[in-house]
Structure 1
C-alpha cells in the first residue's frame, strides 16, 4: 500500500515588506477519504513579512507536518507526498545573479525536504491559484482576524 499525502500551501502578506505588514502561511492536508486539515502560522514582525517569506513558511509547515504524519505510518509501506516547490536549484543565486532572498527559510525547507525524502518518494507539483482556494482562504481568514 502506498501512502499518499496531498498538501496545498499558500502564504499571504498585506503591506508586503513594510514595517506594519502582516503575513500568514497555511498548509492544508487533503484527507484520504475526504475532509481537510489546515495548519497556519502568523509571520513574526522581524524581519518584516513579505509574500515570499509567507510562501516559504507555508512549505516549512507542510514539510514538518508531513514528516510527523509519515513517522506515524506503517514503515513497511512506501509514501508519496505532493505539494508545491520551486526553490534551491541555482547555488543560492537567483536568475539575476543575486543571492536568493530569504535564504534562512529556504535552507530550513531544504533540510525538511531531505528528511522527508529519507522516508519515501516526494513529488512537487505547481497548481494554479484556482485549485488552491482552501489554503488561500485560510491565510486570508487569519489575516482578517489580526
Structure 2
C-alpha cells in the first residue's frame, strides 16, 4: 500500500527583485488524522530573492521532506506525493516548461536564459528521485485554499 503525503507550499518575497528584498518559503504536511508539521526557510540574499525563487524553494522543501519521510518508513512502500502550490509559475516549471527548456538548451521562447534555472534543475533532480520511489504530482490551488502555508511563510518573513 502506498504511503501518501499531502504537502502544501508557499513562497513569498518582500521588496521583490530589489537589492533589499527578503524571501521565505514554507512547507506544511497536513496529516490525515488531524494536525500538521511545518518547515520554513529564509532565502539567501544572493541571488536576489524574488517571489518565483521563493515559490520554487517551497516545492524543493516539500520534495526534501518527502524523501526524508521515505527514509524513516519501514518496508520501503511506494510513495504517493501530492504537492499543492498557489503558484502557477512553480507548478508549470515542473509539469510543462522544463522539458521544452531542457531541449532548448535552457533558453526560453524569447531566446533568453531561463530564470531560476538553478532551482528548477534542483527541483527536477529531486522530482526524479521521488518518481523512482512512487508518484509525485504538483497541483495548483487558489491562494484561498493555501492559507496555512501562506501563514507560515509570512511568519518567516516577519522574523527577518
Q: Does TM-score exceed 0.5, indicating one fold?
A: yes
State whether structure 2 residue 89 is matched by structure 1 residue 89. no
Tell me which stretches of 4 or more aligned residues in structure 1 moved more than 6 Å: none
Q: Which residue of 2 aligns with 1:16?
A: 16
Give 1:42-61 correspondences, 5 Å limit: 42-61=42-61
- Deviation of 1:70 (Å): 1.3
* C-alpha RMSD of matched pairs (Å): 1.4
The answer to which structure has the higher helix fraction is: 2
SS of the aligned residue for 1:90 comes to: helix
Cα distance in 1 for residues equivalent to 2:34 and 2:109: 40
Q: Which residue of 2 aligns with 1:110?
A: 124
Query: Where do 5+ consecutive residues of structure 1 fail to align?
Result: none
2:142 to 107, 128, 143: 128
Query: Where do 5+ consecutive residues of structure 2 fail to align?
Result: 85-90
Cα distance in 1 for residues equivalent to 2:143 and 2:41: 20
SS of the aligned residue for 2:44 comes to: coil
Q: How many residues align?
A: 146
Give 1:62-81 correspondences, 5 Å limit: 62-81=62-81
**Equivalent residues of 2:11, 2:26 under 8 A apart:** yes
Cα distance in 1 for residues equivalent to 2:110 and 2:141: 25
Cα distance in 2 for residues equivalent to 1:76 and 1:54: 31
